[in-house]
Amino acid sequence: MREQPENLSEYYVLDGMNREDKKPPYQASYPSEFMDFAFKDTIRRRDSRICQLCGTKQSEHKVLYRKKLSIHHIDYDKDNLDENNLITLCQPCNCKVNFDRRNWRHYFEIKQRGYK
């Protein structure tokens, strides 16, 4: 079994990667603009810092999951950073919408029309 790192610095050492050249695995497939906290916060503010599926508030989410609400790509294209393609979701809802993607995409596209 492979040794598990305790922090990101150890992750890079274990994999023999140069920290400046590589992103952690959970960030590897996202454009750098999407990893910008201010960019994501723009979407959260637009959505009133509330999960657009179940209504969980960010303040509640931070207590439960120790992190801010997630930003979801409606069309599942991680390179599409159009604000109309992004929506705020809590952790459980963000996991939930990764199944039956066609129906969720349709649902969120209809929901986003209300923002225009």
- The pTM (predicted TM-score) of the whole model is 0.72
Q: Which residue has the higher pLDDT, 12 or 34?
A: 34
- What DSSP string runs through 47-94? TTTB-TTT--BHHHHHHHHSSPPEEEETTS-TT---GGGEEEE-HHHH
Confidence of residue 13 (pLDDT cuts 50, 70, 90): very low
Confidence of residue 115 (pLDDT cuts 50, 70, 90): low
Instruction: Express each pLDDT in 24-70 by its tens digit.
Output: 545 558 888 888 889 999 999 999 999 999 999 999 999 999 999 99
Report, in this order, helix, strand and coil percent for the chain, each rounded to 5: 45, 10, 45
What are the phi and psi torsion angles at 72 (to 5°)? -105, 140
Q: What is the pLDDT, as a whole number, of residue 17?
A: 47
Distance CA 93, CA 97 (A): 6
